[in-house]
Structure 1
Amino acid sequence: MNKRSTLGGGTLLALALLFIGLTILFNHALRGWRLDLTQNRLYTTAAGTDRILASIKEPINLYFYFSEKTAAQLPQLKTYGVRVREFVEELAARSGGRLRLHVIDPQPFSEEEDRASELGVRGTAVGASGTQFYFGLAGTNSTDGRAAIEFFDPNKEQFLEYDVVKLVYQLANPKKPVVAWLSSLPMGPGFDPQTGQMREPWVVYSEAQQLFELRPLEPTATRIEPDVNVLVLVHPKNLSPATQFAIDQYVLRGGHLLVFVDPLAQSDQSGAEAGNPMAAMGADKSSHLTALLSAWGVQFNPGEVVADRAHALSVTMRQGEPPVEHLGVLGLDKGSFTASDVITAGLSNVNVATAGYLEPVKDTKVHFEPLLQSSRDAQVLPAARFRMLFDPATLRDGFKPTGRRYTIAARISGNVHSAFPAGPPAGVTLPAGQSALKESARPLSLVVFADTDLLSDYLWVREQSFFGQRLAQAWASNGDLVQNALDNLAGSTDLISVRGRASFTRPFERVEKLRRAATDRFRAKEQELEQQLRETEDKLTALRSKGGKQSALILTPEQEQEIEHFQTEKLRIRKELRAVRAGLDADIKALGATLKIINIIVVPALFAVVALLLAAWRRRRRAAPANAPLR
């Protein structure tokens, strides 16, 4: 005998209450639990981000300004706005209450709009009416410090995490970073013995003074203070062992380093003699830092210059002469930059002159990441060919590209050993209780450029005098490049570890592939039909005009039949052309129809079949005991 069980209303109500109770319980018990199933881990923050959030000591207020109503008219910005808001909300949730997020939709002529402008978030006019669209982030800390991202550029989406975390880091650490600057080139203000006048500081040096606490270091310095965030070395030359040892120990302690070396520094005044310009041409103008660079896993040859035919700029050597391409003066474009690194991302062009190249030392264990590279139409030439160069055209003599891209700038990271394995050099005495480091206490954080001339004003700015004030107008991105490097290295190691990630916007790769294939397939047919159409029209025109105006009015039956045939052929070809053009999207439409069938019919049908099989299996299990023989 079969027994059928039924669920009463009370049982169903109990199950419903149990489901609601479990939902509420899991909502509280699993609060903060997240599972990121995206391919590029878009919702997983970097470990450095988590450490920066944990290090916040006092609450920080974040104000996310987003004109949501206006964004409805801008689909791309609306989608990206959702992405940014979700990411900022994620940071606030992970901060343990240290980040207080305020999402604001500023209305026109409102106090919120005035507050946004006050905090540094700018509006952008959109639409025919010029409505102000706000899409930025501002922050304040307990000491009235402020920082802002004035506008979230969708083109910099891969650096979203870095930009937001950098803002949080600056508010959590409001003190200006300390940058120690050691240069053998005359970059700062002072007296110029060549002109006999006071010289202005280089623009890149002046900008660094405004953004950081800049401490000039003499080339004879034997100590680098522990509060220095970044040490900058420009054209290090003839440094004493004591100075090199101080730099070595600073790096091993975890100090961040920005280095500019050069095989032929144009601003090096070595060998200069008043009234004898030829004396300086033969002088050694290369940087000397081989021992330290080798210990850091970097190889630099001070005797070779990168010549690049694809990026050569035209220069004028003497007044009155036409400009000529100089294979050693290069205008690097976006194809030369590493787009995934925050230092070079977003730059338009960078100019270098007589630059060298960098390579990782063989079997080194450091991570060597190129930042600037030449084209493949390049070759290295002896630096001696550039010292007394009167005609740049001669550089093309015997020029043979190697097909290799030469690295002009690189980021190096990892653990390294001391360049002084035997201990401090002679004459150096360590303070009591302090011992020399033999290897990295913290991973190396180093950025090296194989050119110092990119810092020179003549390669990237034009200077003008405006009512006695010096104004510099940039025509290349050299200054932005240096400031990006300083800004990045001035942060903590955790901030530097926050790198660019993949874009949130995913293209329809299969659709684009189908579109390209269809275009290639139908384009040939379209061209063939268009050629047939032109030939048919030409024949038709020739036939109608045959015999002159008078005879054209009287046509033989054969001519009339031929004209009718050509007109029919013309209509057929035009119809076939329309079909070919319509067929360009046929595969895409077929793919869309297939996906709709799978989503609407196939998937629900599979679930239904599985449910029916499961119900049948359960029914058999219940029926089995009832049908069992009685004993």
Structure 2
Amino acid sequence: MKTMSRRSVPLVALALLALAFVAAVALSSVALRGARLDLTSQGLYTLSDGTLRILEKVEDPVTLKLYYSEHATRDLQQFRVFATRVRELLEEMAARSGGKVTLEVIDPEPFSEAEDQAAAYGLQAIPLNTTGDKLYFGLVGANSTDGESLMPFIQPDKEAFLEYDVAKLISTLGAAERPVVALLSGLPMGPSMDPSGRQNPGWVVDRQLSELFELRRLQGMPTSIADDVDLLMLVHPRDVPEATLLAIDQFVLRGGRLLVFVDPDAEADQRGINPLDPLSASEPQASDLGLLFQRWGISYDPTRVVLDDRHALQVQPDPNGPPVRHLAVIGLEKDALNQDDVVSAELGKLHFSTVGALGLSRESTLRMEPLAQSSRSAAMADVVAVRAAVSDPDQLREAFKPGNEPLVMAARFTGELATAFPDGKGEGHLARSQGPVNLIVVADTDVLTDRLWVQVQDFIGEPVYNAFANNGDFVFNAVDNLVGNADLIAVRTRAPSARPFKRVEEIRRGAEERYRSTEQRLQQQLEALEQQLTALQQPGAEGQAQAISPEQQAEILRFQDERLRMRKELRDVQHRLNADIDALGDRLKLVNILGMPTLVVLVALLVAWRRWSRRRAAEA
């Protein structure tokens, strides 16, 4: 019995361990429900503080429906990885919402009711092949009051802004009213009557803003900004009285958002032009927030214009002459736009004309984040000289000397701020901001005009917009971002989950540097050898084969052997380009295959050694 009892001990122990494991799993599923540990270096599965606050403030429950054609992507492994990333982010948001956000994942299979629903919502279907397979990957959000918002197709190249877009979708579902944008403009942006009595619908930018927001046009120079204003938009502010500057200052300090467009020369400003005086058209029309910029620490010179040789656009000052590149008319592309800010990211082109430069003084408490900046082949020029070169832009090249530093044309300014009017004594006057301020300044107003970004055509009484630049998107992004609550603005831009193999790239670059010169030398020798061999085998004058001497035949054979040798050596060089990468892959495979078993064996040996040591100590 004693022997049988000893034999049964391991079996009983294993059964108890199995029961304990099952109990631990069941207990952890209850006790640790909702607990998560993000071990990724970039915090891919950790929500931003702004997102968490948005989820906490959800009052009307939100349902998210993710339409994903999983079966259609069976051969698109990279896209499946991205889809898993999106799904995990949505699941994390739902889990952290306290039941206020629910997620449904729907596969809209062909000819199914789910596919009809996806099409009815307006989700975008991407054809995958000629057999008719379609890919749906869109998100629909809905609340209990029939409010809906959607993302027609979640694009992998916009993964960095995925959390922001989803948080914005959830945030806007609870908005009962359109945000209020107060516009104070010194330019004729809005609808008006032209001298002939016809209705002028205004600039396209103005029309789009009025459709998406409650656009409140301020008349004159206000001495206060209403508390229900979400964003104050200033366009070409000229001769602003101190009382209005004080109102702007206090609006910003109490948490209001500010979007400013100033300009060294607003070409759309016709107020100072006298039709009877041709010289009046040569006077620059500058705007500035002078005292506010100075005391806030934002540097801007309304008498200087940015010239950029690399990004200069072509203009045609003479209708009968050829187009010329104008250093003061600048077209920026993606490499000159901040791809980490939702306002400027993903924009393809942004056009400016006679734009100024922005900066920060040493005493400023703000932080400047450039949104658009020139190339290093840029310099500043006097605005009078630029206006004088309208008919002959080549004049600007005579004194042009690049400063080898990029110049900031548009920027976001954030941080704590002190009032520009410390002696103010009115009721409720704030000496400091109640929190971090957030404002965007653009040193150009021409960026808003239709001529720089869009052509408008009439089609059966309806306007059709043909945009050739992204100026309108830039303005809308700025307004949309600033009118959002502080929580939405705080949502961070995420790094893409697909991380590059930096070590592999370093190895590849090093290998290319080591072997590229050898490869080029061998390639040149091989080409020279091919030419010599072709020359020896040239036919006669009448196309007949020439008699070849034994010496020439031996030379041809030697050239052929040399060509084979060089080609083999060239293949070896090309193979060595990837040898180090293959070696690294073999080492990683070895670690993955043998690493864990080796660790288990070492732990087992350590446990056995400790038991043996304890037994020896007990026997002694």
- TM-score, structure 2 length as denominator? 0.94
Q: Name 1:427's counterpart in structure 2.
A: none
1:544, distance to aligned residue in structure 2 (A): 4.6
Q: Closer, same or farther in 2 for the Cα pair 1:241/1:10, shift >3 Å? A: same
Which residue does the alignment assign to 1:14? Answer: 16
Q: 1:98 matched to which residue of 2?
A: 100
SS of match in other structure, 1:57: coil
What residue in structure 1 maps to residue 287 of structure 2?
Answer: 287
Query: Structure 1 CA distance, aligned partners of 2:331 and 2:557?
Result: 63
Q: 1:616 to 1:460 in 2, by over 3 A?
A: same
Which position in structure 2 is the counterpart of 1:246? 247
State the secondary structure of the residue aligned to 1:447: strand
Q: Distance in 1 between matches of 2:590 and 2:468?
A: 56
User: What is the identity percentage for the equivalent residue pairs of Structure 1 and Structure 2?
Assistant: 47
- The yes-or-no answer on 1:599 pairing with 2:599 is no
Tell me by how many angstroms 1:438 deviates. Answer: 1.3
1:544-578 C-alpha deviation (Å, 9 max, x unpaired):
5599899944633x444333322222222222223
Residue number in structure 2 paired with 1:44: 46
Deviates more, 1:593-602 or 1:350-359: 593-602
Q: Distance in 1 between matches of 2:193 and 2:544?
A: 95
Matched, 1:459 2:460: no
CA contact (8 A) 1:120 1:138 kept: no
1:56 to 55, 58, 66: 58
Q: 1:276 is matched with which residue? A: 277
Distance 1:546 1:216 in 2: 86
Q: Tell me the alpha carbon deviations over residues 250-289 of structure 1, each in whole angstroms, 9 at most, x when there is no partner.
A: 111101111101111111123222333422432x511131
Q: Which runs of 4+ in 1 moved over 6 A?
A: 546-551
The corresponding residue for 1:77 is: 79
Task: Tell me what 1:503 maps to.
Answer: 496
Match of 2:549 among 546, 555, 562: 555
Q: After TM superposition, give the deviation of residue 437 of structure 1 in Å.
A: 1.3
Q: CA deviation at 1:436?
A: 1.1
Within 5 A, what are the aligned runs for 1:188-203? Answer: 188-192=190-194, 198-203=199-204
State the alpha-carbon separation in 1 of the partners of residues 530 and 385 from structure 2: 64
1:619 matched to 2:612: yes
Distance in 1 (CA, whole Å) between partners of 2:548 and 2:374 is 73
Shift of the 614–383 alpha-carbon distance from structure 1 to 2, 3 Å rule, reads same
**1:235 paired residue number:** 236
CA distance in 2, matches of 1:413, 1:143: 36
> How many angstroms does 1:607 deviate by?
3.1
Q: Residue type of the partner of 1:479?
A: G
Where in structure 2 are there 5+ consecutive unaligned residues? none
CA offset digits 1:511-559 (Å, max 9, x no partner): 2222333333333223322333333333334445599899944633x44
Q: Distance in 2 between matches of 1:499 and 1:544?
A: 69
Aligned residues: 614
For the residue of structure 2 that corresponds to 1:470, the secondary structure is strand
Give 3-state SS (helix, strand or coil) of 1:313's partner.
Answer: strand
Query: Partners of 1:47 and 1:550 in 2: how far apart?
Result: 84
The correspondence of residues 295-444 of structure 1 with structure 2, limited to 5 A, is 295-389=295-389, 390-423=391-424, 434-444=427-437
Whole-angstrom distance in 2 between the partners of 1:418 and 1:538: 79
Q: What is the TM-score with the length of structure 1 in the denominator?
A: 0.93
Deviation at 1:355, TM superposition (A): 0.5
- Superposed CA RMSD: 2.2
Structure 1 contact 119–147 (Cα < 8 Å) conserved? no
Shift in CA distance, 331/540, structure 1 to aligned 2, threshold 3 Å: closer
How far, CA to CA, are the matches of 1:315 and 1:599 in structure 2? 61
Structure 1 gap ranges (5+): 425-429
Displacement after TM superposition at 1:53 (Å): 0.4
Q: State the distance in 2 between where 1:295 and 1:112 align.
A: 58
The answer to which of 216-225 and 253-262 deviates more is: 216-225
> 1:603, CA displacement in angstroms?
4.3
Aligned residue among 167, 187, 196 for 1:165:
167
For 1:116 and 1:488, locate their aligned partners in 2 and report how far apart those are by CA, in whole Å. Answer: 28
**Most deviating of 147-156 and 582-591:** 582-591
Of 261-270 and 577-586, deviating more is 577-586
Deviations 1:102-158 (CA, angstroms, capped at 9, x unpaired) = 111111122211212222321111122232211111101121111011111111111
